[in-house]
Amino acid sequence: MDPAKLRDAVLSLPLEVRARLVEDLLCSLDEDEEVAEAEHDAAWGAEIAERLREVADGEVTPVPWSEARRRITRES
């Protein structure tokens, strides 16, 4: 299948289905599932720490979930 057509087809799927597909694809890139899970957890831990630092330093301003959801659904 043409990658561009596949991408277009995937992008037309509902958000929840795309999110699960992304998770499945990322997991398929890792040969050792145990190592992949530890790396995944470490990466998320680093991401969370960075986001908390940005909020604490005033670099970003959190928005209420209702506003974030409105923005997400508007962009989909």
Write the pLDDT tens digit of every residue in 14-42: 999 999 999 888 877 766 666 677 788 89
| Token code pair at residue 73 | 């659904």
**Pick from 14, 13, 9, 44: which is nearest to 26 by CA?**
44
> Both 5 and 36 in a single domain?
no
> Both 36 and 2 in a single domain?
no
> Both 24 and 61 in a single domain?
no
In the predicted structure, residue 75 carries a pLDDT above the cut 90: no
Number of separate domains in the chain? 2
In the predicted structure, residue 2 carries a pLDDT above the cut 70: yes
pLDDT at 33: 67
C-beta of residue 55 within 8 angstroms of C-beta of residue 62: yes
pTM above 0.85, yes or no: no
> Both 40 and 76 in a single domain?
yes
> Both 38 and 75 in a single domain?
yes
> Structural domain of residue 54, as residue ranges?
32-76
Angle, vertex CA 21, rays to CA 17 and CA 22, nearest 5: 120
> Both 55 and 75 in a single domain?
yes
> Both 40 and 56 in a single domain?
yes
